[in-house]
Structure 1
Amino acid sequence: MCLPPEGTEACWRYIDLELDPVLHERDSRVEIEDWDEYEQACRNGWMSADDAKLAQSTAEDRAGALRRRDESWQERGWQMLSQQT
């Protein structure tokens, strides 16, 4: 999960919110990875309390979409990504 990318004069940048929902296709297991990195970022003040709440709620929401196999979200995500390149 990350905040939307922002264009600068020289490049693009984004803020990584650390948590990553993952669908393991072999056994259909869904998990949220990188809790240790998230906790470290919170503990060290690398992300605001509001961004931390946003990261957790968004990761949980997207993990739910993966569990439901919400194909429209997954397709839309790939389409949005391809439009950025």
Structure 2
Amino acid sequence: MATGWAGDGAVQDQIDATVDDAVARARRQLKHGPGLTRCEECDAPIPEARRRAVPGVRLCVACQQAQDEQEQGLSSINRRGSKDSQLR
């Protein structure tokens, strides 16, 4: 079924690109190597259990949570809004 200028698989291509971007972003955020014993932000001790569970950990739970909340607020990409106009 023709949908204007968009090809038949345009919507699925958009979904695939969004998922691929999210996976790539998550992989870039993964830490590698040994974790720190003290938080690099507040110098609080990082428990051994957290260091085993999260390879390459650099922040305590409180600082990691604050960083995650800050990054979540910065993520304002609206891929769907920018491409929907092209699909119509």
TM interval, shorter chain, is under 0.3
TM-score, normalised with respect to structure 2: 0.27
Please identify the structure whose Cα radius of gyration is greater.
2
- TM (norm. structure 1) is 0.27
Where is the strand percentage greater, Structure 1 or Structure 2? 1
More helix by share: 2
